[in-house]
Structure 1
């Protein structure tokens, strides 16, 4: 029997009193990979940040239900503990905090229990090898001096260590070359499971060639106007979003 993980019901959200999301409806079942595409300014990143309760974004109507629980009133850290994870389009640099310490502290905060250093280092090394990341990476300051590809790999590394129920990837493939996209996609594929779901927000089809998503959604003017499979992404690649801009949701 299919189990629902995320239910977004008639979600409206504003930024500086300007409505960006205008009634988003989306259901994600456990084990599914969903892709959200759309033109610039459609509300894709707003949806991601709203799900994680970024303070800049205000929910004015609707519900976000995670694993059967309404999380509208939960703080960002509380949502993370419930199993939500957001990979940023533009990860922040944090001088003075190493990748290893950041990940170990984050994992302990999520689980609520201290981690044994040796077992954590072993797990971290294994995850870095899968993402083709050198061992010295763990001792570098978080994202400081990282290339675009390294920053995006670090986001996938975080996801693999934290093991969320629902991972939201906000244009993780942006600015990456083909080889880096493949590595990132493989990292995502390694995290797929019957209990974990993934939402990928993207402008590009290249990463989809490696992910084979269950559903593709088109978000235009703050609403999901069309849902399909990979053929929908191919149509966008060929014809663009023009035919969807005046689409009416029924």
Structure 2
């Protein structure tokens, strides 16, 4: 670049993040860096702060930041409203996706997509272009077209809800996907289907954070890095073998060390 040094900016950089809920400190100086193209798994015991981290990143109300910084593509994420974070490329897949009676899934998807496009100053997709895109993605992800005409998540099985979120991710094309215990409530067949959909979204320009209690999800969504979160901090980082170790030994050693 004409003699200039090129410095790669991390997709997500969290520095000494502290946050509390209802006056109780949950995150206690969390540090995490995710580069484009990487999948990071975050594991840990109940109450460690895993879901709190996902909600803080997405901008959910009720979570007070008491210290630290978060940057998405080099921009101050904490200075953005929730809709701006989404438009900048952050997507949160919920542990328990909400039901929205009276709103067809197709209508919801088109509204979400065009809202983000407007926020970025882009033209909205026309109905024909939108339908073409949804049909292509639904076929690729193995989603029954009839599901798209039903109200959002109403009467859906656990697997259908998670597949619906995978379709949302594919349609919105986020830069950073945060999957908050996406394996919760899924049997092994549904888990394989959802994991296959997530794997199809792996891309050089996209990063993912997979939050889970159990190693079994990581048999299907293979992470580049595994972190242990305990008492609001990353306390250990390793490769896939760390997840296997946690499956065998549990989290007691981390809880004991934090309590000491």
Q: TM-score range by the shorter chain?
A: over 0.9
Q: Distance in 1 between matches of 2:143 and 2:202?
A: 20
- What residue is the counterpart of 1:175 in the other structure? 185
SS in 2 for 1:21: strand
1:87 to 84, 88, 93: 93
TM score, norm. by length of structure 1:
0.96
Other-structure match for 2:65: 59
Distance in 1 between the 2:240 and 2:82 partners?
Answer: 32
Counterpart CA distance in 1 for 2:58 and 2:50 is 13
> Aligned-pair distance for 1:218?
0.3
The offset of 1:132, in angstroms, is: 2.2
Q: Hey, what does 2:26 align to over in structure 1?
A: 20
Matched residue pairs, number? 248
Partner of 1:226: 236
- Aligned-partner Cα distance in 2 for 1:168–1:43: 14
- Tell me, in whole angstroms, the C-alpha distance in 2 between the residues paired with 1:160 and 1:22: 33
Shift of 1:3: 4.2
Q: Deviations over 1:115-144 (max 9, x none)?
A: 121221122122222332211111110011
Q: Which whole-Å CA distance do the structure 1 matches of 2:85 and 2:18 have between them?
A: 19
Given that 1:99 and 1:142 are in contact with CA atoms closer than 8 Å, whether structure 2 keeps it comes out as yes
Aligned to 2:202: 192
Give, in whole Å, the separation in 1 of the partners of 2:74 and 2:199: 25
Structure 2 counterparts to residues 96-135 of structure 1, below 5 A = 96-112=102-118, 113-135=123-145
Normalised by the length of structure 2, the TM-score is 0.92
8 A Cα contact 2:9 2:74, kept in partner: no
How do residues 158-173 of structure 1 correspond to structure 2 at under 5 angstroms?
A: 158-173=168-183
Aligned-partner SS, 1:245: helix
Which deviations, in whole Å up to 9, do the C-alpha atoms of 1:16-40 show, x marking residues without a partner?
Answer: 0100001100000011000000001
Q: Distance in 2 between matches of 1:204 and 1:119?
A: 40
Instruction: Find the counterpart in structure 2 of residue 48 from structure 1.
Output: 54
**Structure 1 unmatched ranges of 5 or more:** none
Larger radius of gyration: 2
SS of 2:215's partner is coil
Shift of residue 2 of structure 1?
Answer: 5.2
1:32 aligns with 2:38: yes
* Whole-angstrom distance in 1 between the partners of 2:215 and 2:249: 13
Tell me the alpha carbon deviations over residues 124-171 of structure 1, each in whole angstroms, 9 at most, x when there is no partner.
122222332211111110011111111111111111110000000001
Structure 2: how far apart are the matches of 1:25 and 1:33?
16
Q: Contact 1:225–1:247 (CA<8 Å) still a contact in 2? A: no
Q: Return 114-123 or 191-200, whichever deviates more.
A: 114-123
Q: Structure 2: any 5+ residue segments left out of the alignment? A: 1-6
Cα RMSD, aligned residues only: 1.2
**4, 11, 34: which one aligns with 1:5:** 11
